[in-house]
Structure 1
């Protein structure tokens, strides 16, 4: 029986590609937005691995094109968070770099170039620069992990330099995360803190900047669980707006408050015109002199933006070019007769920005070029003092590194899992790499010169999935994906890899099993020739998310052969299993020796079952996890 045995050195390198922090996280180009004159300023809200950039776009020969990049280091592998927060006012730009704990001031010259003028540094570990705001000669920079959190104030002097001008501390010294988001109209300031859990309402505090007077907390009622209250804030002329996109099963709402008195006074509640579960109305809020802009990035599957005029007329802005899952409306900036709307879901959350004129006529869409590390081939890179090339290491050398773009990936594609196969005739060893949009096959016989052989695209009509799992049996690979809709089990005869003649091949499935839709994982007992999909969902015979049993006696055509799920386990009492291992038991317990036993890593307990009789599998035992 052939078992996967990836060359140790090459396996470690492919693991680096999979596990380097942040490569699993989309960069989310188009989260932070600002406009200065005729230039668009765009950051990357999700970049955790590379040094940060702020992309500058301008109109060139009638087309919006990248004209500059702002950065504070030339080192690629230097995550600083630069560009996660930004605000522009006139020719001034303030950029936060919270991983580094800094904020940077830039000035736009008459020629349109940006010049860095000053850097501000916070205390180590305080995440100084997480949120920034400009209001004339006042600059505000938050540090939400500086104790319970703080907002630092800076005043611009006659020499153009910024000096400390005070600090606003969290009203709740027992809380944390004060300064996660900020908004100001020059007279008032809104600051959010951390909620009590995922999706929970976040405290939102209001201040009057003159005298740094605290006005109290902006509190809303009847929010329900996971309201995400405080996910977005804005303030204009003494009226505060707080987004709660999770309210009413993610329909979403925006709550308004009057700040002109001694304490915040609730004014009302805004909701979407098109009420739909998942619309997430209130995910972004921008208040301008004449409009209130509210994002609803889940509307209609692509997203929408509500533009509310002072006369209370409403325009619903959408983009006919935005693809499904674009999250159009996740951010917005409006100035100088231009509007830009973030669509951070485009290209697997790599992100895009849609450009409009002042009348909301679409002018185009801008994207950045996905960044990453250059390939490493030919020579072994030794791990010296914890570093091998750009990668951290310990007791492992690099024989090669292959970027995702060179193994079938497109803009935004990520990788998530790996398996292997050795051809019994040729001896060629292959890595089988799961991508969000398919499966790659790489010849790693020479671990210093990996060769991309081909691609098995994801099942047509299925959704992009970061959870893709593959296993091999009798020269066939079986591929499943989680949360992918009608994906099923893809089967490919691996001997087809022998067809490779130097150009990558796009393979068709040998067989498609549609008895399930999505699955979190697939397990194969090579001794018995049975496969087990687990974490099944979305349609077909899910078996409660437990073991969906497949007979592989004809490897190219798996056949359904039963279910097993332990209803005493799983969060919903269905026996949902995250992973499993099935073996022929050869241990000391004579009662079970020689039987096929499956150990299920279920949500709430370890489940142990005898699946020898596929028509009547039985629970042997279960054990809850330590707390």
Structure 2
């Protein structure tokens, strides 16, 4: 079967048209994940094409309503889910009559739990309709005689003990109902009995269910550590999300117990925060979990000050800041469910938190809700005094108005330091470097009640200024632009490097292009090394000794399904354990415990390898028989072609091509299959062409 693709152009950016499809005879209904639209198409047998017939749009519009997230056709009826509406959800029933569609019924969520996503999946057979409510871990069975009146017949709750997204997918035929719980990698069958009630039958599990790997290091050899592609980095252990009593990971931080020297990974989960002892990296021990203060959430962030963890969560129904005394982990030898030590409730939904350990102040940022509007701080920084670590108190607000997508100064992430960089007038001051969606903001927050804006940089077409970290000399601020790849601004993953040596005049120094088909998310510096969590490309390690030309020196791909521009894979990493152990979270997979091996040169310095100009060197030896080596030099990364020609100018072969990082590159040519004679080799890259001659004498 061959046919043209179906496009729908009148949809918002990132609407994900085609998220769901239902086909009934010659009619198709195509929904969208975030586009608030579903479109009907009719098949034309004469032209073998699908033609647009009708566009369904929500009668009750909300930008985050996700109308069209699930669709189903049955007879002359179309059923469309809007699971995000009011964060509760509903479904609409439309009937095709007299040549047009008309809405005949709306079924609302039988419950009132926020973010439960009623209408995220739909299955129909005859007079029975099943509707998934996956964040609520439920599915509802309705019965109708006429598609006008619907009776809730039964509520099915997840048989899985935990968060599994029960109801994310479903199918219904006759007396059999199949419901997927995608995060638990399970599906459950239900059988209808003689009384019309559905009873659980068998369960099915993925044969490729993620399993923990412990007890023996897996070295990176030949470009792989087991199934994971790598370079210079060994896998010491892997902990699957199930073994931390979670379904999905997010952020991560670390704590070294000053009394015992134990290294503990603090792992963000949808369900809470897990604590994993990685002191013996080959044999990590999951100590337990601190459950979320409110409800499960995709977003959680954790930082540490004086043996206390401070945990925030976004879109979690006013989660606030959990305070947990980490010394409670001492002596724990089996999985334990912990209780929080204290709770700070002046903020609710918080996207990230940063702590300046030199001053004892925390900066909660991306404030979605608070005890009152003033404490929301314009979505910027809500400042918290931690000098009594178990009893945080409010210290002030800061927002850089005119930045952020709303212009209120919304801060997505922040780093605050006692400044010791090259700008003399600010030495000793507490300086904030804020990633504010549209801009880099720099401010003096020494006086918490009288913060002072220093400058901003918003002069480029950023997709989303997401997060950043200073180099250790505080001259440069390295930022990940999270959305430039998905919005098509750049073909490959890029990293923005600012020169902040003059705080009142930050400049864009350079943009590093990795050549990877992925999205960058969080990065941290240690010495002259940059540790990047780049979603589907995993953890990437760069030398930034020459800040203008970072060089990738090592990597470990935590997402073996392949690189793509998608929000899967590595969320974040923590590279600050003295042992050299690096802990990395990968969203759907789990916790990776890694170390850079001895093959990686961590001592790359400014003068070692990076050339100042493009150059193509004379091959050596020359003349040759049959092997020679060619060296070319790139002062910046880019796409190159290195081509071999004969005396007539006819191409013989490609010697090297594709995207290459800055640096010195060498390739070997084996001329055993070539005839004796004169050949030419040519290097082409943006703005540079050079040709040299070589002689093959046999």
TM over 0.5: yes
Q: 1:335 aligns with which of 173, 178, 198?
A: 173
Q: 1:267 to 1:499 in 2, by over 3 A?
A: closer
Task: Work out the CA distance in 2 between the residues paired with 1:481 and 1:252.
Answer: 29
**What is the CA-CA distance between 1:265 and the residue it aligns to?**
3.5
Distance 1:448 1:274 in 2: 47
Is 1:392–2:229 an aligned residue pair? yes
Greater mean deviation of Cα atoms: 267-276 or 374-383: 267-276
**1:551-572 deviation digits (Å, cap 9, x = unpaired):** 1212222221111122322333
Which of 225, 229, 253 is 2:92 aligned to?
Answer: 253
Distance 1:559 1:537 in 2: 19
The aligned counterpart of 1:143 is none
Q: How does 1:259-298 map to 2 (within 5 A)?
A: 265-272=100-107, 283-288=120-125, 290-291=126-127, 293=129, 295=131, 297=133
Partners of 1:489 and 1:253 in 2: how far apart?
Answer: 38
Provide Cα deviations, 1:46-99, integer angstroms capped at 9, x if missing partner.
xxxxxxxxxxxxxxxxxxxxxxxxxxxxxxxxxxxxxxxxxxxxxxxxxxxxxx
Counterpart in 1 of 2:316? 484
Contact 1:305 1:328 in 2 (8 A): no
The equivalent position to 1:591 in structure 2, one of 420, 425, 429, is: 425
Provide the rounded CA distance (Å) in 1 between the counterparts of 2:412 and 2:297. 16
Separation (CA, whole Å) in 2 of partners of 1:451 and 1:281: 37
1:533 aligns with 2:376: no
> Which position in structure 2 is the counterpart of 1:190?
28
> How far off is 1:532 after superposition?
1.0
TM-score by length of 1: 0.61
Q: Counterpart of 2:383?
A: 549
8 Å contact from structure 1 (residues 304, 329) kept in 2:
no
Matched, 1:317 2:149: no
Structure 1 residues not aligned, in runs of 5+: 1-151, 153-166
Aligned residue for 2:330, secondary structure, equals helix
Identify if the C-alpha distance between structure 1 residues 517 and 191 changes in structure 2 by more than 3 Å, giving closer, same or farther: closer
Flag the 1:189–1:607 CA change in 2: closer, same or farther, 3 A. same
CA RMSD of aligned residues (A): 4.0
What does residue range 147-296 of structure 1 map to in structure 2 within 5 Å? 152=1, 167-170=2-5, 182-185=21-24, 187-190=25-28, 192=30, 198-207=34-43, 216-220=52-56, 230-237=68-75, 239-241=76-78, 243=80, 245=82, 251-257=90-96, 265-272=100-107, 283-288=120-125, 290-291=126-127, 293=129, 295=131
Going from structure 1 to structure 2, the CA distance change for 1:366 and 1:605 (only over 3 Å counts) comes to: farther
Residue of structure 1 equivalent to 2:657: none
Decide whether aligned partners of structure 1 residues 622 and 303 sit closer, same or farther in structure 2, where only a CA change above 3 A counts: farther
The offset of 1:432, in angstroms, is 2.0
Taking the TM superposition and a 5 Å limit, the aligned residue runs for 1:467-616 are: 467-500=299-332, 502-540=333-371, 541-616=375-450
Question: Cα distance 1:222–1:437, how it changes in 2: closer, same or farther (>3 A)?
Answer: closer
* Equivalent-residue separation in structure 2 for 1:257 and 1:596 (angstroms): 65
Distance (whole Å) between structure 2 residues aligned to residue 503 and residue 299 of structure 1? 29
Aligned to 1:430: 264
- Rounded to whole Å, the distance in 1 between the matches of 2:165 and 2:379 is 29
CA distance in 2 between partners of 1:270 and 1:219 (Å)? 18
1:452-472, Cα deviation, whole Å (9 max, x unpaired)? 3x2242245x11123222112
Q: Residue 615 of structure 1 aligns to a residue in which SS? A: coil
Displacement of 1:525 in angstroms is 0.7
Structure 2 residue 291 is the aligned partner of structure 1 residue 458: yes
Q: Distance in 2 between matches of 1:300 and 1:504?
A: 26
Instruction: Select the structure that is richer in strand.
Output: 2
| Structure 2 counterpart of 1:401 | 238
Q: Distance in 1 between matches of 2:158 and 2:322?
A: 29
Q: Which has the higher contact order (CA 8 A, sep 6+)?
A: 1
How big is each residue's C-alpha offset from its partner over 1:114-164, in whole Å with a ceiling of 9 and x where there is no partner?
A: xxxxxxxxxxxxxxxxxxxxxxxxxxxxxxxxxxxxxx3xxxxxxxxxxxx
Could you tell me how far apart the structure 2 residues matched to 1:590 and 1:208 are?
73
1:494, distance to aligned residue in structure 2 (A): 2.5
Structure 2 distance, partners of 1:309, 1:392, is: 56
Asked if the contact 2:276–2:285 (Cα under 8 Å) also holds between the matched residues in 1, the reply is: yes
CA change 1:563–1:306 in 2 (3 A) is: same
Aligned residues: 445
Please name the residue that 1:32 is paired with: none
Against the structure 1 CA distance between its residues 357 and 386, is the aligned structure 2 distance closer, same or farther, given a 3 Å change threshold?
farther
1:304 paired residue among 140, 164, 175: 140
Query: Are the structure 2 counterparts of residues 396 and 518 from structure 1 closer, same or farther at C-alpha, using a change threshold of 3 Å?
Result: same
**Gap runs ≥5 in structure 2:** 462-698
Supply the distance in 1 between the matched residues of 2:188 and 2:400 (Cα, whole angstroms): 44
Shift of 1:589: 3.2
Maintained 8 Å contact 1:377/1:399: yes
3-state SS of the aligned residue for 1:577? coil
Give the C-alpha shift of residue 319 in structure 1: 0.8
Could you give the per-residue CA deviations for residues 316-359 of structure 1, whole angstroms, max 9, x where no partner exists? 234164599997766554434x14263648x7897756554475
- Contact 1:295/1:330 (<8 A) preserved: no
Give the TM-score normalised by the residue count of structure 2. Answer: 0.55
Aligned to 2:629: none
- Cα 1:388–1:608, aligned 2, differ >3 Å: closer, same or farther? same
